[in-house]
């Protein structure tokens, strides 16, 4: 079993380095989650990766991003490691059932009994928007995480009123608005860029009423949805 981009992220609850249970669902509607699986605490490559996240990943100190790191180590090992390295983010113990969450996400190495280097970026609606899976010896690049988070932030909903260009297409929803949610290649971002540049044949900046977070309807990722602009969010 593996989890792919566009899938709903499987839920889980694991103890952090303080023994406190952490539920993935607790971040739904509030934060994007960077879920990082790694093989073993204290190992050289894992130490390098997590120390890099401590030093060079300021995005996770914001109000809308949560960093969750997961390995098969016990929370006792995580507690000592976190204190030694001053890790302030969550180190979750996928200790028992051994590697159960890693197996659910398709990143468990059955032969070695540990997780490979899998990272999943999950949006506020619980949908996997980006992933990378590296073999155990190969460290990941934080710049890739940062780029994915930046794209996720830009792929918000652009609400245009009144619609002036039929080429952009009218979709069901609130009359007088067009909503561009996440779609292949981030259509929302491209539409907003065109609006800012104001080229002939596209909407002008004055048409943009607000940029709203994407809410996926029952149709799933990539479906269209238009909503009224909440009070205080329009221009």
Domains of the chain: 13-153 (3.40.30.10), 155-212 (no CATH)
Q: Is position 46 annotated as part of the catalytic site?
A: yes
pLDDT number for residue 142: 94
Rg of the chain over Cα atoms, rounded to whole angstroms, equals: 20
Catalytic-role residue among 46, 51, 155, 186: 46
Report CA-CA distances (Å) from 102 to 5, 110, 147, 155, 206: 16, 10, 24, 28, 47
| Residues 168, 148: Cα–Cα separation, whole Å | 26
Report CA-CA distances (Å) from 98 to 22, 37, 39, 101, 184: 17, 14, 12, 8, 36
Q: How confident is the prediction along the chain (235 residues), in pLDDT tens digits per residue?
A: 789 999 999 999 999 999 999 999 999 999 999 999 999 999 999 999 999 999 999 999 889 999 999 999 999 999 999 999 999 999 999 999 999 999 999 999 999 999 999 999 999 999 999 999 999 999 999 999 999 999 888 765 444 444 444 444 444 444 344 444 433 334 444 444 444 333 333 444 444 444 444 444 434 444 334 343 333 443 3
pLDDT number for residue 141: 96
Q: Are 158 and 180 in contact (CB under 8 A)?
A: yes
pLDDT number for residue 155: 67
Q: Are 73 and 87 in contact (CB under 8 A)?
A: no
| Residues 166, 161: Cα–Cα separation, whole Å | 12
């Amino acid at each position: 079993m593996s989890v792919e981009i566009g899938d709903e992220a499987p839920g889980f609850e694991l103890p952090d380095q303080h023994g406190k249970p952490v539920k993935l669902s607790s971040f739904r509607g509030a934060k994007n989650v960077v879920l990082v699986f790694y093989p073993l605490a204290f190992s050289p490559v894992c130490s390098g990766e997590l120390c890099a996240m401590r030093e060079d990943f300021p995005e996770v100190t914001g109000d809308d991003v949560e960093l969750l790191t997961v390995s098969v180590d016990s929370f006792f090992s995580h507690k000592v490691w976190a204190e030694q390295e001053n890790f302030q983010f969550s180190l979750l113990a996928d200790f028992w059932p051994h590697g159960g969450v890693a197996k659910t996400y398709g990143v468990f190495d059955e032969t070695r009994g540990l997780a490979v280097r899998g990272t999943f970026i999950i949006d506020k609606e619980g949908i996997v928007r980006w992933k990378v899976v590296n073999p155990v010896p190969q460290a990941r690049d934080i710049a890739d995480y940062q780029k994915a988070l930046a794209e996720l932030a830009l792929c918000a909903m652009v609400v245009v009123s009144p619609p002036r260009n039929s080429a952009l297409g009218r979709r069901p929803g609130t009359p007088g608005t067009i909503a561009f949610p996440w779609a292949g290649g981030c259509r929302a971002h491209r539409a907003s860029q065109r609006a800012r540049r104001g080229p002939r044949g596209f909407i002008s900046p004055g048409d943009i009423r607000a940029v709203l977070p994407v809410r996926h309807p029952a149709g799933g990722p990539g479906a269209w949805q238009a909503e009224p602009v909440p009070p205080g969010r329009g221009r």
